[in-house]
Structure 1
């Protein structure tokens, strides 16, 4: 194994136990702030408000299910499940501190789950307001209609999950040492 290349489970360079809690708190606060702003400043089903032409728009909508409106009408059970998952991840990270990368991506996923759980428990639906026309162009091109309107919590879950998948492939790869000494870059057989 190469020295200095951390793995996802590297205990030697664990992050502080407070880092994931701080990250989750900041992301949950940002998510709740944007949702409150959207509820105050946007009108459901009104034309989209362009933020960055062709890139980002505000469009208020609500979801009583999960991504792509799966499990519609199940806001309360989904909210409880999200809350348990989000809190469970944070408790795990508190009790078993992990490498900084893993702490950050799991804190992101936890924040997303808790952020949407708060909406589900408070309102019986999740507030969504971010529309990205480039993502809709991609989903329409593959015959799947418009990309769903989303929020910061959704972005945390998706971004954290993608980072976790990429990180698991990149950071946990074991180098092939077929006769190669990684310390000096020379073949042992030479």
Structure 2
């Protein structure tokens, strides 16, 4: 029985580049839209009422403003991670799941690299009130405003973690 991490079903070597290119393009397009249509410091504008708002902000660090003021060094590190992951999945083809997940993470790293190198900061515009309610309840303040690149990294990493637990259970059975 194949598992999520089974190495028998690889995708063509160009697929990781295509996935990453589409996600980076979507990220950069939404950032350009946000810069043209949203105002920094303005109140959130509902997009999906109660779930997701538009709110323009900038970050010179990483999540929760860790390493603030380090946009260029972080951009270089992100670039190395993004390119490294793409090279890895192209040189050592993985199964479809891992190819997609690692390409998502690479796209997120590259999307935020572009901002860090071009602007010295990352453009964020997605505000999730339900996530802020959770982080405030945990005493961590508001959930950071984020972008598509951030979502690619977080969702890809979570999928990778879930798959590793599922795969571990399947091997024990």
Normalised by the length of structure 2, the TM-score is 0.96
* RMSD, aligned α-carbons: 1.0
Structure 1 segments of 4+ aligned residues over 4 angstroms from their partners: none
1:167 to 147, 163, 169: 163
Structure 1 runs not aligned, ≥5 long: 177-190
Q: Distance in 1 between matches of 2:4 and 2:52?
A: 36
1:91 to 87, 103, 119: 87
Q: Distance in 2 between matches of 1:57 and 1:71?
A: 26
Equivalent in the alignment of 1:143: 139
Equivalent residue pairs, number: 172
Q: Distance in 2 between matches of 1:58 and 1:64?
A: 19
Paired residues of 1:5 and 1:171 also in contact (CA < 8 A): no
Spell out the pairing of 1:85-124 with structure 2 (5 A cutoff).
85-124=81-120
Paired residues of 2:4 and 2:97 also in contact (CA < 8 A): no
Alignment of 1:69 onto 2:60? no
Alignment of 1:132 onto 2:128? yes
SS of equivalent residue, structure 1 residue 128: strand
Q: Distance in 2 between matches of 1:56 and 1:123?
A: 25
Which structure has the highest helix share of the two? 2
Q: Which one has the largest radius of gyration?
A: 1
Equivalent in the alignment of 2:2: 5
